[in-house]
């Protein structure tokens, strides 16, 4: 089964039970994006500095958000998480 069929064939009960677990979508999205960034770097499609730049841009977008959408706390938390990922070296296998 590929990801497309898994997404379109999930039973309503399964989808509802996943919705009851907090942050399932966000955690899945983070894991998928991290895997993609690692794969792009491993296959020499994107160099480390480009991946770091992508993460910095994402953090800056959330840091600079005015909060007009009523989600200022969320934007600050997202920026902090991305900055923690950068500081910890996740999403990039840093060569020493």
Where exactly are the structural domains of the chain? 26-88
pTM of the model: 0.71
Question: Which pLDDT value is given to residue 20?
Answer: 74
Helix pair 48-63, 24-42: axis angle to 10 deg: 150
Check pLDDT > 50 for residue 1: no
Question: Which pLDDT value is given to residue 15?
Answer: 58
Q: What percent of the chain has pLDDT over 90?
A: 62
CB distance 51 to 92 below 8 Å: yes
Check pLDDT > 90 for residue 60: yes
CB neighbourhood size of 90 (10 A): 16
């Amino acid at each position: 089964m590929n990801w497309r069929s898994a997404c379109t064939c999930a039973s309503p009960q399964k989808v509802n039970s996943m919705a009851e677990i907090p942050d399932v979508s966000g955690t899945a999205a983070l894991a998928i994006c991290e895997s993609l960034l690692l794969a792009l770097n491993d296959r020499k499609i994107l160099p480390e500095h480009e991946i770091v730049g992508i993460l910095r841009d994402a953090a800056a977008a959330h840091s600079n958000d005015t909060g007009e959408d009523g989600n200022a706390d969320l934007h600050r938390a997202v920026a902090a998480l991305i900055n923690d990922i950068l500081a910890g070296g996740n999403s990039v296998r840093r060569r020493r």
